Chains A and B, each alone.
Chain A
Amino acid sequence: CSPTVRVEAPEKPIEINMTVNIRHEILVKVEKDVQQLFDENKGLF
């Protein structure tokens, strides 16, 4: 859903809620390294 933005009575602040899921580079790199262990000639799987 897109973030909820409600402009209410002056004394009320604008309310914004945001959720960010970070997929760290470190995991992406590890997974790339792990993928290579599955190729045939290594005979590991």
Chain B
Amino acid sequence: ADLSTAKQQGWVGEQNNGYLGLVRSDAPADVKALLADVNAQRKAEFTQIARKNGIAEAEAARIFAREAETRTVPGNYIQNPAGGWVKK
């Protein structure tokens, strides 16, 4: 599975905390594996950016989340402030 297809098919979406989230729990196993793998890589990147700039990892992740939301293609899923999944 590749990430953009998984997003278009509505299996995964961009969460407010900068990480990918499962929109539907019945997503295929390879999508779930991809999600875990991408989130792990994101965490490593956020931690490195946070350490370099003297801020917390969560803050770097939130800055990513804001950017991810603006770049999300209409029709793909993002989280509303309350944490619910909505199509952009």
**Within 8 Å by CB, do A and B touch in the complex?**
yes
Q: Which residues of A contact B (CB under 8 A)?
A: 26-27, 29-31, 33-35, 37-38, 42-45
Q: Which residues of B contact A (CB under 8 A)?
A: 2-3, 38, 41-42, 45, 49, 52-55, 59-60, 63-64, 67-68, 71
Minimal beta-carbon separation of B40 from chain A (angstroms): 10
- Which residues of chain A come closer than 8 Å to B60, judged between CB atoms? 30, 33-34
The total number of A-B Cβ pairs within 8 Å is 40
Q: Is the CB of B55 within 8 A of A45?
A: no
Q: Is the CB of A44 within 8 A of B45?
A: yes
Q: Is the CB of B42 within 8 A of A30?
A: no
- Which residues of chain A come closer than 8 Å to B38, judged between CB atoms? 43-44
Q: From known contacts A44-B38, A44-B41, A45-B71, infer whether A34 and B64 are also in contact, taking CB-CB under 8 Å.
A: yes
- 4 more A-B contacts (CB under 8 A) besides A26-B53, A34-B67? A26-B54, A34-B63, A38-B68, A45-B3
